[in-house]
Structure 1
Amino acid sequence: MPDFTREQQHGGRVAGVDEVGRGPLAGPVVAAAVVFAAGVPADLAVIIDDSKKLKPVVREAIAARLPDVPGIEIGLGAASTAEIDFLNIHHAAHLAMQRAVARLPRLPDHVLVDGNKTPDFGCSTQTVVGGDRLSLSIAAASIVAKVVRDRIMARLDTRWPAYGWEKNAGYGTAAHRLALTTTGITPHHRRTFGTVRRQIEHFYTEGRA
């Protein structure tokens, strides 16, 4: 389970930052930054974990409670499908992280970032590989980002229901891939991703045949 050790070692206002949505074929990449300026309540600390390990109902419950934690600061950022295609997913994810930190009430003293690379936040930064399993701030950020992105994809699903985004969040499930071949692509598909790009190429090849 993640703990608060790294945050306490640095002192001051330490933000944990994580992003969600690098792998899907559709939708934005979403990032969150979380600062527990007054620490983490004990009963909340024991249930915060890597968002991928938590059931949706648990993620939703934690995300709903976080804004009421004394001293907490939460920033959200995203990069659109167009930005992903223009910048590539790596740089778009970093852009989303920068936007999340920029939307905190003020610049933190230090940033802990999940992963092994970090964008420039304008303050001291540390990468933490597997950070959503080690740091409570990063884990909380992963939960917030996951809940927000899942809600975005569920809303998009109401307009483009063929792809099952409410259930697969844009990931390349068998049903999603089948819908690409039968229904085509939407404005929210990442055209530079191999599966989507090949479908576009197939469409134009068939059109010329």
Structure 2
Amino acid sequence: MPAPRSTRRPAASATAETFGRQRVAKSQGGIGGTSAAAGPRPDWRFEYQAWAHGLFPVAGVDEAGRGPLAGPVVAAAVILPEGFAHPQLHDSKQVKPAVRAELAHVLRTTPGVEIGLGVATVEEIDAINILRATFLAMRRAVQALGPSPAALLIDGNQLPGGGLPQIALVEGDARSLSIAAASIIAKEWRDAHMCDAHALHPHYDFPRHKGYATAAHRDAIRRHGPCPLHRRSFLGGLLEETGWLFPDGDGSAPA
């Protein structure tokens, strides 16, 4: 489907309420209902759906870092200008690191692309759990946008407290261009943050695995114990196995 040409806000054809609070499975037909077997690429279909309901602009929202043993969870919200196109824009997991870095640069420097970033810290992850921390980072990303979006396209689950009409898309980063752009920004920022952490915590080789639970990372924790970047709520079994304590002297997971 070609990118939209007009910069005029589309006229409303239905209410915002009929658009918002949907969750679309990847196998569902209709708008955005391409099956995974067809090898879909992200496109404008869900953005068009929002515009047809008079909702403009639309922000795509995605996160990076839900699963690692260390580091924050990071979310990005991205508004793409009508007509934006890049042949390699895709889910961040589907592109090579060099291409991802190029895409992030293009997104940051293209006029009309609006980016909001939100971070939930390790302390927040341990205090409220990773799912709530992810939602917190997403809300912060949306709040950080310059222009306020009229609607959200979200990868995965509905965003509680989002305050806007939204559609949650299963594997949305492979289906919506706005979500794909958000996935690129979130992944690049978080990876850079974890690489920078190497200077303070060289024992763990964070540039290699970005905090994920690789065998090498787990072995490093066994040898050196956890550092302040580690999520104690993710390390219960490993700490019990090794007897290591966190730098504050506490070896327990949060209640």
TM > 0.5: yes
2:99 counterpart of 1:55: no
- The residue number in structure 2 matching 1:192 is 233
- The residue number in structure 2 matching 1:174 is 215
- The residue number in structure 1 matching 2:44 is 4
Letter aligned with residue 182 of structure 1 = R
What's the offset of the Cα at 1:118?
1.8
Structure with higher Rg: it is 2
Query: Following the alignment from structure 1 to structure 2, what is the Cα–Cα distance between the partners of residues 189 and 29?
Result: 12
After TM superposition, what 4+ stretches of structure 1 lie above 4 angstroms from structure 2?
Answer: none
SS of match in other structure, 1:16:
strand
Question: Contact conserved, 2:173 with 2:179, CA < 8 A, in 1?
Answer: yes
Which of residues 65, 69, 90 in structure 2 aligns to 1:25?
A: 69
Query: Following the alignment from structure 2 to structure 1, what is the Cα–Cα distance between the partners of residues 103 and 220?
Result: 33
Identity %: 48
2:182 counterpart of 1:154: no
Question: Contact conserved, 1:16 with 1:35, CA < 8 A, in 2?
Answer: yes
Which of residues 136, 153, 176 in structure 2 aligns to 1:95?
A: 136
Query: Following the alignment from structure 1 to structure 2, what is the Cα–Cα distance between the partners of residues 23 and 47?
Result: 26
Question: Contact conserved, 1:107 with 1:123, CA < 8 A, in 2?
Answer: no
2:15 counterpart of 1:15: no
What's the offset of the Cα at 1:117?
2.9
2:205 counterpart of 1:203: no
Query: Following the alignment from structure 1 to structure 2, what is the Cα–Cα distance between the partners of residues 108 and 117?
Result: 16
User: Between Structure 1 and Structure 2, how many residues are aligned?
Assistant: 201
- The residue number in structure 2 matching 1:105 is 146
Q: Give 1 or 2: higher helix fraction.
A: 1
SS of match in other structure, 1:192:
helix
Query: Following the alignment from structure 2 to structure 1, what is the Cα–Cα distance between the partners of residues 215 and 109?
Result: 39
Query: Following the alignment from structure 2 to structure 1, what is the Cα–Cα distance between the partners of residues 114 and 124?
Result: 26
Structure 2 unmatched runs, 5+: 1-40, 246-255
Query: Following the alignment from structure 2 to structure 1, what is the Cα–Cα distance between the partners of residues 146 and 157?
Result: 26
* Residues 147-188 of structure 1: CA deviation (Å, up to 9, x unaligned): 000000000012111212101000011110001111000011
Question: Contact conserved, 1:14 with 1:37, CA < 8 A, in 2?
Answer: no
Letter aligned with residue 171 of structure 1 = Y
Letter aligned with residue 167 of structure 2 = Q
Q: TM-score, normalization: structure 2?
A: 0.76
What's the offset of the Cα at 1:72?
1.2
Query: Following the alignment from structure 2 to structure 1, what is the Cα–Cα distance between the partners of residues 139 and 225?
Result: 33
Q: TM-score, normalization: structure 1?
A: 0.92
Question: Contact conserved, 1:38 with 1:72, CA < 8 A, in 2?
Answer: no
SS of match in other structure, 2:243:
helix
Query: Following the alignment from structure 2 to structure 1, what is the Cα–Cα distance between the partners of residues 141 and 117?
Result: 4
Could you say what the CA RMSD is over the residues aligned between the two structures, in angstroms? 1.6
User: Which fold has the larger relative contact order, with Cα–Cα distance below 8 Å and residues 6 or more apart in sequence?
Assistant: 1
What's the offset of the Cα at 1:204?
6.0
Query: Following the alignment from structure 2 to structure 1, what is the Cα–Cα distance between the partners of residues 203 and 83?
Result: 44
Q: Which moved more, 1:161-170 or 1:85-94?
A: 161-170
Question: Contact conserved, 2:225 with 2:244, CA < 8 A, in 1?
Answer: no
